[in-house]
Amino acid sequence: MKPRSANVAPMGTVPEPTAPRRRRGISLVELLVVMAILAAVIALIFPRFGDVGASAQRAVALQHTAALQSAINQWVAIQPSLSVAKQAWNASEDRLGLLEPFLDGALYADMEALSGGDSDVRTTPMDNLEWHVEISAWGTGTSGYPKAQLVQ
């Protein structure tokens, strides 16, 4: 009779279960599935980051417009009267220059460097968005108060 191998149970007995083999890593299919899921998540999230930059530039452009209007209001407030303010404002060839003491130094320097006159005041964020601010002349009546109007 031939000797039996160690793995084979003798006749009439139930073989003992062998311990399951332990896996040592992941299969190529599992790796590809994980990479596909990550690619899909990145594709969904990545465009959102581009929107954040443009949104921030819009917010800063609006803030600069508000700072410009605030500077106009402050300049008018220090004038002896509204009629004097109106004459000085309309006679000025450099309205942005009148507002320099009321604007942050860096903001004024940015406006001065990029602007093409009172009808085309720009800052870097506005320039990136192709926006500008128009500073109006003092019109007639109470509705003619000078304004910094953002033009998109």
* pTM value > 0.85: no
27-31, 61-65, 66-70, 141-145: segment of lowest average pLDDT: 141-145
Give the type of residue at 89: W
- Would residue 19 count as lying in a domain? no
Q: Is residue 83 part of a domain?
A: yes
Indicate whether 127 belongs to any domain: yes
For residue 80, what are its two tokens?
A: 């002896």
Give residue-wise pLDDT tens across range 32-51.
999 999 999 988 888 777 77
Work out the percent of the chain whose per-residue pLDDT is above 90: 32
Q: Please report which confidence band the pLDDT of residue 135 belongs to, taking 50, 70 and 90 as the band edges.
A: confident
pLDDT of residue 15: 66
Domains held by the chain: number: 1
Tell me the average pLDDT across 5-22: 67
Q: Confirm whether 107 is domain-assigned.
A: yes
pLDDT tops 60 at residue 19: yes
Q: How far apart are the C-alpha atoms of 21 and 87, rounded to whole Å?
A: 93
The H-assigned helical ranges of the chain are: 28-78, 82-91, 95-98, 105-114, 124-129
Range of the domain at 106: 57-151
- Domain presence at residue 97: yes
Q: Are 94 and 108 in contact (CB under 8 A)?
A: no
Of the pLDDT bands very low, low, confident and very high (cuts 50, 70, 90), residue 139 is confident
Interaxial angle between packed helices 28-78 and 105-114, expressed in degrees from 0 to 180 and rounded to the nearest 10: 100
In a domain, 9, yes or no: no
pLDDT at 152 over 70: yes
% residues pLDDT > 70 (the chain): 85
Cα–Cα separations (whole angstroms), residue 3 to 7, 12, 17, 18, 122: 12, 16, 21, 21, 96
Q: Is 33 contained in some domain?
A: no
By C-alpha distance, which of 47, 51, 71 is closest to 59? 51
Model confidence pLDDT, tens digit, residues 50-102: 778 888 899 999 999 999 999 999 999 999 988 888 899 889 888 888 999 99
Please state the length of the chain.
152
Domain for residue 68, yes or no? yes
